[in-house]
Structure 1
Amino acid sequence: MYSGPIIDPHHHLWDLSMGKHPWLLPTDPSVQAVAGLSEIATDYLVDNYVRDSSGHNIVATVHIEALWAGDPVGETRWLETLDKSKGVASRYVGGASLGKPEAADAIARQAAFDRMTGIRGILSWHPDPKKCFVADPELGRNPQWRRDIARLQEYGLNLELMMYPYQAGVVREIAEALPGLQIIINHCGSPIDRDPEGMQRWRDGLKRISACPNIAIKISNPGAYDHNWTLESVRDVAMHCIDCFGTERSMFGTDYPVSKIQMSFDQIYDTFKKIAAVLSPQEQSRLFHDNAKRFYRL
């Protein structure tokens, strides 16, 4: 199995004493789509990540914004104070209130940090309100939101994107309208509905957006929405991502510690290594390391 260097392109850090992550607390109902948040409502810092990842050859990581309350640039300033000697949070994907008046200023200030490679947008709307991350099913077509993601292209930043299969059409529209914008889809495109119809909707959605060469995908948090996950169920999701995007536009990532709700760090990477064992050494290197190095300019 793969034993080479690994770049984890998706994880989070937080210090709850700072009061910037209220969504993790049971008193805040803002993120209903993720069950089991009480299990991860503890500090998660560089030392925690280093401990959890010790069984794998992690050489660098990418920190993804974690719904920081208040000015999102504050999270970036905090990240700048953390120990970088182990490669943790070597690059950042920051936050900005896309579609709101303050977004333009936030994007400009985020872009000024050398480690900043992108801004995350969230389009994850579902017909079931309890599964929604956003209230507007047409957010991806909102002119102000579109204006702000166009700014990312001007600054050379990626658009990191959370979506459900229901947004496949608008994601393709965005990619075609902004062909110079690198879009990176999070969490396998979120196969949230695990019934046969829902899984087919997810498969069709990924196929649709993968036709755009400026879209890549992260096979991250592979146990999300799969409460009885098995090696085979994760393999089905991971291999469909790879079949759609190829090994040139796919990356393995953890989404730790959010993914801890379903899988341990070792389970995530051990599963990835078993799945990837059928691929060539060059293809495995792309998935575990090379693509993340390229997309996040490491």
Structure 2
Amino acid sequence: MDMSTQRDVWLAQTVEDAMEPGLPICDPHHHFWDRDGDRYMLEQLTEDVSGGHNIAQTVFIECHSMYRAHGPDEMRSVGEIEFVQGIAAQSASGQYGPTEVAAGIVGNANLMLGSAVQPALEALIAASSNRFRGIRFSCGWDASPQVSPGSPNTPGMLMDSRLREGFNCLRNLGLSFDALVYHTQLADLADLAGAFPDATIILNHIGRPLGVGPYAGKRDEVFADWQKGIAAVAEHENVVVKLGGFGNVISGYDWHQRPIPPTSTELADTIAPWIMYCIEQFGPERCMFESNFPVDKNSYAYTNGWNAFKRVTAGFSDPEKAAMFQGTAVKAYRL
């Protein structure tokens, strides 16, 4: 039994019926990959989104999948866009259900190349002229090897003049930037947002508050530091935030190690303080819920995750829910 099958058997123990099944959702953050023992392609996503929630559209986010094996390094990520463009065409046939899969596509380009990143950005656009929306470039760095072992990233990347030169190329092409950072780097992201107030910046996974390595067992301290960073970023109107990513093991919740996965009620109780603070700071019109699948699938089922989000936001108005579950994502990714 491969890793994917073992995970599905484990998750099946607590799968729930979907709450508020009529609420339209845009899932603005999922991946596709075909790795040794771990396959997540259109068939697997289709099975997840068919669990009862009204997933109208999705956005694919880069994950270093299907890069070209040959050619200049800075151009190899174009292969990922070509790959997902094909999956989106499969979905558009209607043979895989009503969800418009990969209605938006976010790729990868090395902004540390400075202005030399321009040809790569143009190649990414050419690979998907109708769906490509922007890039995600990981800037996550921490001194602890337990947080990001083997990462090539360096401290202060968001402040680096080379990255900002590359970012300017991105901005000039009208592309969005998905920011993948840790909570300890939110002040730098706020600085970047202030330097480019007309660029759309999408903060991934509520800023990735850490719960492993030197941050393990320090949830209250991390939460306080994270709040300061979120407040600083939220001051910039050009930043929107994705509410999710709690199932990543770096969050430190260890759901993936339990004999039975969490229910949506347990998830909601755990994630509510983080989500409510983000909504308080950004407002519903700048918040979007995300699945982060299949990364978060290691911790909970797709249907349960969206149920948890709906439990947390039960007290919000219909227009506010419409923004957080669909409208903000549709606007940010120009769907």
TM-score interval for Structure 1 and Structure 2 normalised by the shorter chain: 0.7 to 0.9
Structure 2 Cα separation of the partners of residues 197 and 220 of structure 1: 20
265-274 vs 125-134, which deviates more?
A: 125-134
Q: Percent identity?
A: 30
Aligned to 2:82: 77
Deviation at 1:251, TM superposition (A): 0.1
- Indicate conservation of the 8 Å contact 1:111/1:155, yes or no: no
- Indicate conservation of the 8 Å contact 2:134/2:176, yes or no: yes
276-285 vs 162-171, which deviates more?
A: 162-171
Deviation at 1:15, TM superposition (A): 2.5
Equivalent AA in structure 1 for residue 101 of structure 2: V
Helix, strand or coil for the counterpart of 2:57?
strand
Q: Deviations over 1:175-200 (max 9, x none)?
A: 11111111000011111135211111
Structure 2 Cα separation of the partners of residues 81 and 168 of structure 1: 35
Aligned to 2:234: 210
5+ unaligned residues in a row in structure 1: which ranges?
17-24, 26-40
Aligned to 1:200: 224
Deviation at 1:134, TM superposition (A): 4.6
Deviation at 1:137, TM superposition (A): 0.9
Q: Does 1:62 align with 2:59?
A: yes
> How many residues are treated as equivalent by the alignment?
275
Q: Does 1:257 align with 2:294?
A: yes
Aligned match for 1:171, one of 189, 196, 204: 189
Structure 1 Cα separation of the partners of residues 161 and 154 of structure 2: 13
- Indicate conservation of the 8 Å contact 2:23/2:53, yes or no: no
Select the structure of larger CA radius of gyration: 2
Structure 2 Cα separation of the partners of residues 257 and 118 of structure 1: 21
Q: Does 1:233 align with 2:229?
A: no
- Indicate conservation of the 8 Å contact 2:64/2:80, yes or no: no
Equivalent AA in structure 2 for residue 120 of structure 1: R
Structure 2 Cα separation of the partners of residues 103 and 151 of structure 1: 8
Aligned to 2:281: 244
**Would you identify which runs of 4 or more consecutive aligned residues in structure 1 move more than 3 Å?**
none
- Indicate conservation of the 8 Å contact 2:110/2:117, yes or no: yes
5+ unaligned residues in a row in structure 2: which ranges?
1-18, 69-75, 93-98, 212-217, 256-265
Aligned to 1:44: 40
Deviation at 1:155, TM superposition (A): 0.6
Deviation at 1:278, TM superposition (A): 0.8
Q: Deviations over 1:237-259 (max 9, x none)?
A: 11111111110100001010011
The correspondence of residues 252-291 of structure 1 with structure 2, limited to 5 A, is 252-291=289-328
Q: Deviations over 1:75-109 (max 9, x none)?
A: 11111212123311111011112213763221111
Equivalent AA in structure 1 for residue 153 of structure 2: A
Structure 2 Cα separation of the partners of residues 154 and 100 of structure 1: 16
Equivalent AA in structure 2 for residue 75 of structure 1: E
Structure 1 Cα separation of the partners of residues 57 and 283 of structure 2: 23
Deviation at 1:169, TM superposition (A): 1.6
Q: CA RMSD in A?
A: 1.7
- Indicate conservation of the 8 Å contact 1:123/1:134, yes or no: no
Helix, strand or coil for the counterpart of 1:84?
helix
Equivalent AA in structure 2 for residue 109 of structure 1: A
Structure 2 Cα separation of the partners of residues 139 and 245 of structure 1: 24
205-214 vs 133-142, which deviates more?
A: 133-142
User: TM-score of the superposition, structure 2-length normalised?
Assistant: 0.78
User: TM-score of the superposition, structure 1-length normalised?
Assistant: 0.87
Aligned to 2:202: 184
Structure 1 Cα separation of the partners of residues 132 and 25 of structure 2: 20
Deviation at 1:135, TM superposition (A): 3.2
